[in-house]
Structure 1
Amino acid sequence: MLGELLSRILLLLFGYAMPAFECFKTVEARPNDAHMLRFWCQYWIIVAMVIAVESFISWMPMYGEIKLAFFVYLWYPKTKGSDIVYDTFLRPMVMQYEPNIEQRLLHLRGRSGQLLTFYMKNFADKGTAFFMDVLRCVVSDEPGASVSEVLSTSISWAMCWSQG
């Protein structure tokens, strides 16, 4: 338990906070240093990819420690891990599937408006019904029964909302 907490704190510091600050310094102090900007872009692309596949590999023993070591390897100046991982593995793989990825992202962007509309309408409908139930409870003559009704309504509302 304590090892996992320490691992998470170190990951937060050395995997996210310190690299973010170094990236900030590069953007602000050396905005024309294309090599360093590329290095930090590669780092954050790799970190995003690790986070994207994390749910499939996080079951591994000592995953947090491995992830921390990998992130330090990526930014540590003597290893140049971001350059190696990006140029050797990530870039060739993404370049191979780039047209397919682009096509799927365009499709998702087109459907995102429909999904947003659906969830907003669903939220508005169920939220209005819940508000009316609460209002009915407040003005009701039987507070005990109405409170339990509102609670059961709010629970069913939450369940319906989570199911979409």
Structure 2
Amino acid sequence: MVGSFLPRTICKMVLGYVYPAYECYKTLKNNKPEIEQLILWCQYWILVAMLTVLERVGDALFAWLPIYCEVKLALFIYLWSSKVKGTNYLYNHLFRNFVSQHELEIDSKILEFRVKTGDIANYCCQKALNYGHKGVSEIFQYASSHSASQPCHDQAC
């Protein structure tokens, strides 16, 4: 199992991430990249992000299937292959339709998440400031109580 895991993982990283990233680089390197190529790579990376999230669930449920890893690898190749235009098909027929149908709900949840995380961050910052203020006050009280109780025998006092 471990013997086949490493080559499959390396293959997936190279064919799913490194090669497409290099192709993106080559597209952006052009002084005036074609808009179709930019759209293709934006769509590709959107799909890869979604597949990476779904992969966590898929791995837990389907990793026991004999060719599961090979199918995942084939899917990445299907996405960037210019002959079959997999990215274009999956993005336009599945992803875009799904997101369009749920866009208002998604935006609402994102806004709700931002508000909640902002509230949590604000609460945590307030607590940290309060603890910091309390700690600094205690340090000053300690220092002032100890400096007043000890006589100064130095000429500099």
TM-score if structure 1 supplies the norm length? 0.68
Gaps (5+ residues) in structure 2? 132-157
8 Å Cα contact 1:31/1:37 also seen in 2: no
CA RMSD after TM alignment: 2.3
Amino-acid identity (%):
34
Tell me whether 1:23 sits opposite 2:24 in the alignment. yes
Pairwise CA distance, 1:55: 2.1
Residue ranges of structure 1 left out of the alignment (5+ in a row): 126-164
- Give me the whole-angstrom Cα distance separating, in 1, the residues matched to 2:113 and 2:27: 33
SS at match of 2:119: helix
Q: Specify the code of the residue in structure 1 equivalent to 2:24.
A: C
**TM superposition shift of 1:46:** 0.6
1:7 Cα offset (Å):
0.7
Aligned residues: 126
Partner residue in 1 for 2:40:
39
The alpha carbon displacement at 1:119 in A equals 5.5
Matches within 5 A, 1:122-137: none
Within-5 A mapping of 1:108-127: 108-118=113-123
TM-score, normalised by the number of residues in structure 2: 0.71
For residues 47-83 of structure 1, what are the alpha-carbon distances to aligned partners after superposition, in whole Å with 9 as ceiling and x for unaligned?
1111122222113124332221101110011111000
**Cα separation, 2, equivalents of 1:114 and 1:99:** 22
Question: Residue 42 of structure 1: CA displacement?
Answer: 0.7
Deviation, 1:24, is: 1.8
Residue 17 of structure 1: how far off its partner (Å): 0.8
Counterpart for residue 78 of structure 1: 83
Which deviates more from structure 2 when the two are superposed, residues 58-67 or residues 13-22? 58-67
Q: In the alignment, which residue of structure 2 is the partner of 1:65?
A: 70
Q: 1:123 to 1:16 in 2, by over 3 A?
A: farther
Higher gyration radius (CA):
2
